[in-house]
Structure 1
Amino acid sequence: MNKSKKERLFGDHFRQGLTEAEQALIEQVRELCREHIGPNAAAVAQEDRFSWDTFHLLARSGVLATAFPKKYGGSEARQVVRIRILEELGRTCSTAASMVTGADLSTRAIVAGASERLKEQLLPQLCTGKTQCAFALTEPGAGSDVRGIQTKVHKEGSRYVISGSKKFITRASTADWFVVIGRLTESDAKFVALIVPRDAPGLTISEDEPKLGWYGVPIASLELRDVAIANTHRLGEEGDGFNLAQDALLRARIGHAGMALGRAMGALEIASSYVVERQVSGKRLSEHQGVQWMLAEMVVQVEATRALLTLTAEKYDREAPDVALFASMVKLQATDLCMKVVTDALQLTGGRGFLKAFPLERFFRDAKLNQIGEGSSEVHKTIIGRDIVRRAVAAERHPCLKPGPLVDY
């Protein structure tokens, strides 16, 4: 049997509603992972330098273009397709997956808020990978709390002047453009989104910051000191910066979930292959009930989370009003689960899992950032908990409860 046609541990049951073209795109990504991305993933993870080979491969194959409108050369893929692409990429290489989610995060505000002239100028180049953009939101004292941003933007005639600091900016060292979110000094409650070129006077980009994992997509800090930008480079109207940032983060949270879930699937596949080969106490490791129970728990949780991810993507595609809440749910569930599954998979592979030559060492280091980026797990627990409490006040009363205050029981 051809290797590419062998049955996989995790089936394609969540692809049943996709079109033939969408199915073909996922198969294309699967083949890229099989032939190029997977075999090269270990080498990419050796040093935290931008992986141009991976980036150009994703651009040539049209995978980057899935985030962009068809009018500007993209394929404008639905979220139900993008999550399956991110599963495939996350299963083999965090670098490749984060390049796809990063292209979406950094350009979403342009797609949603730029003037037609600006879109025509920027999007075709970004879509094909000829240029790159970075999303400059996070600051030393503000990240998930967008309202805590302190970067100042004030108006001077037909231009805006920006001053502030940005931190943890992915691909800052390679970006040609930056989407910068700041607070309007003339009206402190209003946020403004501006597109800033790399060579803008007053913009300083730091050296890349060393980090634990996710090699191949470096991060750096920005300093903006009286950076002047024409008002034609504003995204949306004055005051739209907050909503544009939230829209970008919403898509990024779904992307983080897809990437993390793919990594969990990959880790489980690797561990399963190992336990059916390794012998302990005269029999295969896979024959021990304790090992089978560990595998069973992981598989059930992964499949359940894939279902939640699919539901969330469907909600996004049909613009369901509660999609942001479900994005928080699946981001929390998938990223925490990934950390647990990768840890357990490494435990099953013993000393080999601890070796840099073995993929799980890389999976283990990469898994942590998914729990932190685009809102930590604790942030999303707070979002979900507050929503439950808010809705419980007006929710239908449970039929098993008798009338009257519950404290009277």
Structure 2
Amino acid sequence: MNHPRHPRLFGDHFLTSLTDEEQTVVQRVRELCRDTLGPNAAEVAQQDVFAWENFRLLAREGIVGTAFPRRFGGTDARQQLRVRIIEELGRVCSTSASLITGTDLSSRAIVAGASEALQEQLVPGLCTGELQAAFGLTEPEAGSDVRGLQTRFRRTSEGYRITGRKKFITRASTADWFVIVGCAEDDPSTFLAALVPRDAPGFSIGPEVGKLGWYGVPISSLTLNDVAVPASHRLGAEGEGFSLAQDALLRARIGHAAMALGRAIGAVEIAAAYASDRSSFGKALGEHQGVQWMLADMVTSIEASRALLALTAQKYDNGDTDVATYASMAKLQATDLCMKVVTDALQLTGGRGYLQDFPLERFFRDAKLNQIGEGASEVHKTVIGRDWMRRARSAERNPCLREGSLVDY
């Protein structure tokens, strides 16, 4: 399908850090958004059933494979590329964006911690979309507080017996394999992670639970009742379950930020187009100073947040030790900003923005979960503040200060 080329409302300045090959991937994602994912987004969001057509398209086009190593058929994409992909998808379809962020969350521990034999068995199928995995971390009494997990691994001569409950698990109803994170029964400070097949005796998946938005990626609960897992299905060494979970969450938080920024960009595009078309008091709505000021605040904040996210992705690719804090900052800033931008964009479009057949209604419902999933905004504020206070104790002293305790001023 041929489309006239128009300049984008938001510039492509962040693509300059990508290689020619990476930029080609972004352009292909844009084509998919323009030709298929965008036009079909409203229909996908009508029912909260797994969006198989979107998933298969993204798998077939190799977008799902960007999360996996080349030796298993993936492209092992840098985060600097993946944030651009997720932003493009989030601009039109939260479902499609979450399918890509969810791939990181559900599969990262397998890529990072599974044995070579288990990787050979599973990762090629995960890369092509023939297999799916789910990430079982959150529990009724433990979410962002990973150290509060109650799921227990009891050691046996063959491996482990796992007992516990998991909640809000995305892809639970479609996954073939489940990454389960918990603690050793005899030492709750020792975290473990293991792969559990869907048909394991004692393992049950609850019914899908309805939710406000993010249709196309249903959630369910899991129950593990003395589920036997061989030692060969453990991910990483004993004690590494926490670090494997943290790396998966880190990548997912970066993805949440990219998705939120994509949605914010889409909301501004829609609101600005409306402001150009709609007349009010004898002139275009967008010619009123109040509307221009609203748009100015939106686009300035979005571009600043995009810059923070680009820096965070670069830090991840470089292996910087402070990337976790920056991921929290990017996720906090982008997701809170998205909620505000979408709300303001809906306000600007008036009654039309509230209609179900207008995209902003869907954007509005989807925006909230970004502030909650993979650590609520308040949790990330605590993480950031605690880390910066720790740094302050050993940081270079500002030269404007005189020697001695500041309480002596």
TM-score (norm 1): 0.99
| SS of residue in 2 equivalent to 1:321 | coil
Distance 1:120 1:389 in 2: 44
Distance 2:257 2:17 in 1: 20
| SS of residue in 1 equivalent to 2:74 | coil
Distance 1:188 1:395 in 2: 35
Q: Please give the residue correspondences for 1:21-170 in structure 2 after superposition, counting only pairs within 5 Å.
A: 21-170=21-170
Q: CA deviation at 1:258?
A: 0.4
Q: CA deviation at 1:158?
A: 1.3
1:323 aligns with 2:323: yes
| SS of residue in 2 equivalent to 1:220 | strand
Q: What corresponds to 1:302 in structure 2?
A: 302
Q: CA deviation at 1:80?
A: 0.2
Q: Could you report, residue by residue, the CA deviation over 1:267-326 in whole angstroms, capped at 9, with x for unpaired residues?
A: 000000000110111111101001000100110100011100000000000100100010
Q: Could you report, residue by residue, the CA deviation over 1:213-271 in whole angstroms, capped at 9, with x for unpaired residues?
A: 00000000001101111111000011110000001000000000000000000000000
Distance 1:366 1:4 in 2: 30
Q: What corresponds to 1:227 in structure 2?
A: 227
Q: What corresponds to 1:262 in structure 2?
A: 262
In structure 2, relative to structure 1, the CA distance for the partners of 1:378 and 1:282 (3 Å cut) is: same
- Between the aligned residues of both structures, percent identity stands at 67
Unmatched 5+ residue regions in structure 2? none
Distance 1:353 1:188 in 2: 50
Distance 1:261 1:20 in 2: 23
Q: CA deviation at 1:397?
A: 1.6
Q: Could you report, residue by residue, the CA deviation over 1:197-218 in whole angstroms, capped at 9, with x for unpaired residues?
A: 0000111111100000000000
Distance 1:147 1:403 in 2: 40
Q: Could you report, residue by residue, the CA deviation over 1:122-159 in whole angstroms, capped at 9, with x for unpaired residues?
A: 00000000010000000000011111000011111012
Distance 2:59 2:392 in 1: 47
Count, aligned residues: 408
Distance 2:70 2:148 in 1: 35
Q: Could you report, residue by residue, the CA deviation over 1:88-115 in whole angstroms, capped at 9, with x for unpaired residues?
A: 0000001000000111110100100100
Distance 1:202 1:214 in 2: 30
Distance 2:395 2:318 in 1: 24
Distance 1:182 1:407 in 2: 45
Distance 2:323 2:121 in 1: 31
Q: What corresponds to 2:398 in structure 1?
A: 398
| SS of residue in 2 equivalent to 1:172 | coil
Letter in 2 for 1:18: L
Q: CA deviation at 1:400?
A: 1.6
Q: Please give the residue correspondences for 1:146-295 in structure 2 after superposition, counting only pairs within 5 Å.
A: 146-295=146-295
Distance 1:149 1:120 in 2: 30
Single out whichever of 396-405 and 193-202 deviates more from structure 2.
396-405
Distance 1:408 1:235 in 2: 53
Q: CA deviation at 1:401?
A: 1.8
| SS of residue in 2 equivalent to 1:212 | coil
| SS of residue in 1 equivalent to 2:140 | coil
| SS of residue in 1 equivalent to 2:102 | helix
Q: CA deviation at 1:4?
A: 4.9
Letter in 1 for 2:358: F
Single out whichever of 397-406 and 248-257 deviates more from structure 2.
397-406
Q: Could you report, residue by residue, the CA deviation over 1:324-373 in whole angstroms, capped at 9, with x for unpaired residues?
A: 01000000000000000000000000000000000000000000000000
Distance 1:230 1:247 in 2: 24
Letter in 1 for 2:215: Y
Unmatched 5+ residue regions in structure 1? none
Q: CA deviation at 1:402?
A: 2.3
| SS of residue in 2 equivalent to 1:188 | strand
Distance 1:222 1:149 in 2: 14
Distance 1:324 1:159 in 2: 32
Compute the RMSD of aligned alpha carbons.
Answer: 0.8
Q: CA deviation at 1:391?
A: 1.3
| SS of residue in 1 equivalent to 2:189 | coil
Letter in 1 for 2:193: A
1:333 aligns with 2:333: yes
Q: CA deviation at 1:3?
A: 3.8
| SS of residue in 2 equivalent to 1:300 | helix
Distance 2:355 2:288 in 1: 24
| SS of residue in 2 equivalent to 1:276 | helix
| SS of residue in 1 equivalent to 2:294 | helix
